[in-house]
């Protein structure tokens, strides 16, 4: 039933997107920033509606850690399509995603991603990948935050396991000096991937960690910042999984 309801919601949203696209285009003539802010508000409402219909309860931790007056690079572990929905329902400031190039060809979604100032990366093309990073640097300089998953793809291994973080993902922070916000998302894969194609009622925790400035790191932590950030996210995942396990035991006892 949840899957059907969310499917109907998407159909309604696609229909409503036509006049919303026109509104966004008109606003964009006068202000790209205003267009982006409105797009994020619309997508945030849509994301919350999807989670509500899916029976997904999201606990947000550490939102106060995100600087309010500067752009940041959000670095998150990637286990589910719902990671993006969860992030947009909770993100403290306007932000786009660095996404796979194939998403640029998905109708309707690709237009919203452009309005959100998402970037599309071809991981098989080094030259194009560098151009995407440079575009990300320019966005950050303009005050627009970015979400990136350094694993490069969804990971279906153990609860705390992650694929190695690609050090190139941290060029954004290295070139701009902006803060890295480690983001740990627990249980997102239990919403859909664990029993696809069905959507299941799930408790999720997303935690925004304390800002990390590369200039403040020493030695190997600065040299291998990917491994350093991954360790922080791993510890957050383990801590928050214990919270979810204790909650499940409490309600099942």
pLDDT reading at 118 higher than 70? yes
What is the overall mean pLDDT for the chain?
Answer: 92
The predicted-structure confidence for 17-67, as pLDDT tens digits, reads as follows: 999 999 999 999 999 999 999 999 999 999 999 999 999 999 999 999 999
CATH class of 2-252: alpha beta
**How many other C-beta atoms lie within 10 A of the C-beta of residue 58?**
21
What are phi and psi for residue 125, nearest 5 degrees? -125, 100
Residue 35: count of CB within 10 angstroms of its CB: 20
Partner residues linked to 147 by β-bridges: 74, 97
**How far is the C-alpha of 57 from the C-alpha of 119, rounded, in Å?**
29
In this predicted structure, the answer to whether residue 15 has a pLDDT above a threshold of 70 is yes
Q: Which residue has the tokens 């970037």?
A: 119
What is the rounded distance in angstroms from the CA atom of residue 141 to the CA atom of residue 193?
36
Pair 154, 138: CB distance under 8 Å: no
CA distances to 37, 50, 206, 208, 212 from 228, in Å = 32, 33, 19, 16, 10
Residue 226 has pLDDT above 90, yes or no: yes
Q: How far apart are CA 140 and CA 72, in angstroms?
A: 7
Q: What angle do CA 88, 89, 90 make, to 5 degrees?
A: 90
pLDDT at 193: 92
Q: In the predicted model, is pLDDT for residue 178 greater than 80?
A: yes
pLDDT grade, residue 127 (50/70/90)? confident
Q: What is the pTM of this model?
A: 0.93
Q: Residue 60: beta bridge partners?
A: 206
User: At what angle are helices 32-53 and 82-90 packed, to 10 degrees?
Assistant: 120
What pLDDT does residue 251 have? Answer: 67
Q: Quickly state the pLDDT bin for 1 (edges 50, 70, 90).
A: confident
Tell me the C-alpha distance between 250 and 212, whole Å: 35
- Burial track 106-122 (b if 16+ CB lie within 10 A, e otherwise): eeebbbbbbbbbbbbbe
CA 143-43-155 angle, 5° bins? 85
CA distances from 213 to 127, 165, 170, 185, 209 (A): 27, 17, 11, 21, 12
Judged by average pLDDT, the poorest of 33-42, 48-57, 128-137, 195-204 is: 128-137
**DSSP letter for each residue of 94-140:** -EEEEEEGGGGGSTTHHHHHHHTT-EEE-TT-HHHHHHHHHHHHHHH
What pLDDT shows up at residue 77?
96
Q: Terminus-to-terminus CA distance in the chain, angstroms?
A: 27
């Amino acid at each position: 039933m949840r899957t059907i309801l969310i499917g109907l919601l998407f159909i309604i949203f696609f229909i409503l997107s036509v006049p919303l696209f026109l509104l966004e285009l008109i606003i964009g003539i006068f202000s790209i920033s205003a267009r982006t802010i409105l797009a994020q508000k619309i997508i945030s409402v849509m994301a919350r509606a999807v989670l509500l219909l899916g029976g997904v309860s999201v606990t947000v931790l550490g939102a106060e850690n995100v600087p309010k007056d500067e752009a940041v690079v959000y670095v998150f572990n990637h286990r589910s399509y719902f990671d993006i929905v969860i992030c947009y329902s909770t993100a403290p400031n306007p932000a786009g995603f660095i996404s796979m190039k194939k998403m640029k060809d998905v109708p309707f979604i690709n237009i919203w991603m452009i309005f959100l100032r998402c970037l599309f990366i071809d991981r098989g093309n080094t030259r194009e990948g560098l151009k995407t990073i440079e575009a990300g640097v320019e966005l950050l300089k303009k005050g627009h935050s970015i979400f990136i998953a350094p694993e490069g793809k969804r990971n279906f291994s153990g609860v705390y396991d992650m694929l190695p973080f690609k050090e190139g993902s941290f060029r954004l922070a290295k070139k701009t000096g902006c803060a890295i916000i480690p983001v740990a998302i627990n249980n997102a894969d239990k919403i859909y991937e664990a029993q696809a194609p069905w959507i299941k009622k799930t408790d999720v925790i997303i935690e925004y960690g304390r800002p990390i400035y590369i200039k403040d790191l020493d030695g190997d932590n600065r040299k291998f910042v990917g491994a350093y950030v991954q360790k922080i996210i791993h510890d957050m995942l383990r801590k928050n999984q214990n919270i979810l396990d204790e909650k499940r035991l409490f309600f099942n006892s």
